[in-house]
Amino acid sequence: MRIPRALFGVVKEAARHLLRRPVVGVAALARTEDGRVVLIRRGDTGEWALPGGTLEWGELLRASIERELLEEAGVRVLELEDGPSVYSHPSRDLRFHAVTIVVRATVSAPERPPANPLEILEVGLFERDALPAPLAHAMSDMVAHALEGRGYWE
């Protein structure tokens, strides 16, 4: 029984190092050409949020945000703006410690429904003065900073 116990110890130690690292996330303050903000309603909490997700292994940030916007909101990126913001407070997401890069983007109107209707219940287009609050995962300040048009570091 020493071998399995020893193997368990090695696996546990490796998992401790691998799983205790922050996850890289991307999200977008996506606006249609007429200025409406694209938000998604999350299936897990029922709250509205910025569309986005996690960076996949070997994926570039630009490709990740384009993929996430298409999968979650059914929109295509027309333009990504300069000046991303970075959020890293561990309490933003109870599931894991995420470092989230928020970009501003101009996107098409939604062209198709979300890829996973259990994850994303609906896509909404909101005028700036009619945004729902609060947003999931403490995203309200992310939206405020992005609407100000400046980068932000946390």
The rounded percent of the chain whose pLDDT value lies above 70 is: 88
Q: How many other β-carbons are positioned within 10 Å of the β-carbon of residue 49?
A: 20
Domain 22-148 coded CATH 3.90.79.10: yes
Read off the DSSP letter of residue 20: T
As a dihedral over the C-alpha atoms of residue 6, residue 9, residue 10, residue 15, rounded to 10 degrees, the angle is 160
Distance of CA 96 to the CA centre of its chain: 13
Model confidence over 63-99: pLDDT tens digits?
A: 999 999 999 999 999 999 998 999 999 888 877 888 9
In contact, 34 and 100? CB cutoff 8 Å: no
Could you state, in order of their start, the residue ranges of all structural domains in the chain? Answer: 22-148
- Give this prediction's pTM: 0.85
